[in-house]
Amino acid sequence: MSFHYLMHNQTLIRDTGVFELQYTPETIHYRDQELKQLAGAVSPALRGASPTNTNLRGPPGTGKTTCVHRIFSELEETTQSVVPVFVNCNSANTTCRVFAVIFERLFGHQPPNSGVHPHLLIDPIAKELIKRKAVLIVCLDDAHYLRHNDQFDVIVRSLLRMYENYPGVKTGVLTTISDHTFPPLMILDPAVISVWQPEEIPFTCYQREQVRTILHDRIRMGLYPGVVPHVILDRITDLTKEEGDLRVGIDLLKHAVLNAERDARTVVTDDDVTRAFEIAQSAHLIHLREGLKPNEERLLCHIAQMKRDNPNVPILSGPLYDSFRATQNISYSGFHGWLTHLSDLRFIDLRRRAHIGNSREVILLVDHESLKII
């Protein structure tokens, strides 16, 4: 058998950007309807009117952010009378930070003083919009990170009621929300709801063959031919579907290829995928845990501790509630909401079993040793 080894200056990747999370592909598969809805929502801005406020809701890794990037890119290419601003609320999670991002987008530099009061940023922002006769569209990506200290209410209020102090200003707000336990219309002040009233665009999980098509497209655009055999693509597809997040698959694909490169091979092997999956899963786990509320993380760690103490004993939701309630005062509705959210994020699986009544078995889907007890 002959082996082909890479030279020191050779690579299997012809376009590294294809595997970056912020990459927007030329063709966004299986999201035509969502893109049309989003385009329709922002189209009034092209005529100088306020866009339709819109909420893109669905599980992580279902294309919400990618669709926003595509529409914002088209706006930037089409007109200068619309200013689209994308805000990553995982990092910009306060009113001041959000408006600092808007300020930088308008003026090309950060505000002169960090930590200034938001009103000192709103004034120049509004005046610049009036000067340009431009419509401002702000996307609050992962808006559920703004749940603390009424930040979401303050930010939406400040954006959508800006016209009251600055006549002529036109603004719109897009939000992407991956957390089903975050109900924005239930936490906003009625006065804010009256001016927001978002149109909902639901994003559902990709089916297995859809995941495979998307990953195959990334391979075609980003790698040289023959690097990823069909059987390896099938395994990466299955692992991606199991995790429930397309971003895991893209990251897994990249690291598997890098593993082959480091070993000076031209074809990705099953072992490359196995090693890469450990890295991708760990990074994904850290990202998801950062978005958990404190009580949700405590519940997750409590489940992990129960699994660690009694690895062969099934964890049932009823006894789990009693055990967790002993550590803090909680209602069953709150507990049920946290449990469901952990299930949606694929930390756990909830299985009904006929012989245990209404109680469900809680299956921990991540390595309990990787969860630090808090």
Residue 61 domain flag: yes
Determine the Cα–Cα distance for residues 83 and 46; give it in Å rounded to an integer.
10
User: Cα–chain-centroid distance for residue 335?
Assistant: 24
Residues 49 and 150 in one domain: yes
pLDDT band at 373 (very low <50, low <70, confident <90, very high): very low
pLDDT tens, position by position, 270-292 = 999 999 998 777 776 777 787 78
If one compares 330 and 36, the residue with the highest pLDDT of the two is 36
Identify the domain containing residue 269 by its residue range: 208-290
pTM equals 0.78
Residue 129 domain flag: yes
Residues 280 and 155 in one domain: no
Point out the domain boundary residue: 290, 310, 335: 290
Residues 284 and 320 in one domain: no
Task: Give the number of domains in the chain.
Answer: 3
pLDDT score for 346 = 76
Residues 249 and 128 in one domain: no
Residues 43 and 65 in one domain: yes
| CATH of residue 114 | 3.40.50.300
Determine the Cα–Cα distance for residues 115 and 34; give it in Å rounded to an integer.
37
Residue 169 backbone zone (phi > 0: left; psi -120 to 50: alpha; other: beta): beta
Mean of the pLDDT values across residues 143-159?
89
Residue partners of 116: CB distance under 8 A and separation at least 6: 96
pLDDT tens, position by position, 189-201 = 888 888 999 999 9
Mode of pairing for the β-strands spanning 54-57 and 199-202 = parallel
If one compares 238 and 374, the residue with the highest pLDDT of the two is 238
Residue (of 31, 92, 39) closest to 246 by Cα position:
31
Residues 196 and 280 in one domain: no
Residues 249 and 349 in one domain: no
Residue 43 domain flag: yes
Residues 47 and 189 in one domain: yes
Measure Cα distances from 13 to 128, 173, 257 in Å: 43, 38, 8
Point out the domain boundary residue: 165, 182, 202: 202
pLDDT tens, position by position, 167-187 = 999 999 999 998 877 788 777
pLDDT tens, position by position, 300-321 = 999 999 999 999 999 999 999 9
What is the chain's mean pLDDT, rounded? 89
pLDDT score for 119 = 85
How does DSSP assign 26-70, residue by residue? SS-TT-HHHHHHHHHHHGGGGGTSPPPPEEEE-STTSSHHHHHHH
Secondary structure of the chain: what % helix, strand, coil (to 5)? 55, 10, 35
Measure Cα distances from 241 to 118, 233, 234, 284 in Å: 42, 12, 11, 14
Residue (of 97, 198, 100) closest to 146 by Cα position:
97
In the numeric block, which tokens belong to residue 368? Answer: 């309990």
The share of the chain scoring above pLDDT 90, in percent, equals 64
